[in-house]
Amino acid sequence: MRSMKPAALIFDVDGTLAETEELHRKAFNAAFKEAGLNWIWDCSVYGELLRTTGGKERITVYANLIGEKAIDVPTLHRRKTEIYRKMVTSTSLELRPGVKRLIDIAYKQSIPMAIATTTTRSNVDALIAATLGGRVENWFMSVRCGEDVVHKKPHPEVYERVLHDLRVSAHQCWAFEDSRVGLEAALAAGMPTVVTPSLYTQTDDFSGATLMLSDLATPYSALIYRGHAQLHAVPSALIPLFGH
């Protein structure tokens, strides 16, 4: 029996499309140094801060944690974003394995694609231009970012907005995430979700995910299903997208 194609594929950005979190961390530290702040976020600190979604929110959480009061969070975050965008355009950043192939297949099969992220639109634009080329709208029918929502992940609002834009039902779409926070948002929106853990999320709890893969180039004959080390077939809707 012929499998039904997904109504849409909806992607998170940082850690899912590309391993960008190290660039973000370095951009934060550069912005802190410029601002005269004696803040250094090492990998351990940044890993903990990633439990909070949104750059401004992370700055606020950290400032409160160390008792720093006189911080102009919007200005500091704006400068961090400028630095990050320059880093993206000046480095040889690549998409994670299998991402470009999946996007190409979906594009050729006329499967709508969208982005649901907590990062800023300017960050998304820079990443897509550097990796896929051209404008983000050339590839994705809906792009919803941190500035589009009141409640960031794990709240499902960003996914709900994308689903509304596309006029599709959640259960007919597939979300692609790399973190527990993102997975919770997608599940709360009612979407089956493929998780590809990234550099900072290897130890997250991904129970509830429909599929957990090391990356999107993983053959469907050797997958981890719902966190258990078992061989399992890809759900029929995704077989045309994942190859052999």
Q: Please say whether the beta carbons of 81 and 121 come within 8 A.
A: no
Measure the CA–CA gap between 235 and 210, rounded to whole angstroms.
9
Q: What is the DSSP letter of 213?
A: -
Give Cα separations from 71 to 36, 64, 75 (angstroms): 11, 10, 9
Catalytic site residues? 12, 14
3-state secondary structure of 212: strand
* Token pair of 9 as six digits: 């594929």
The alpha-carbon radius of gyration of the chain (Å, integer) is 18
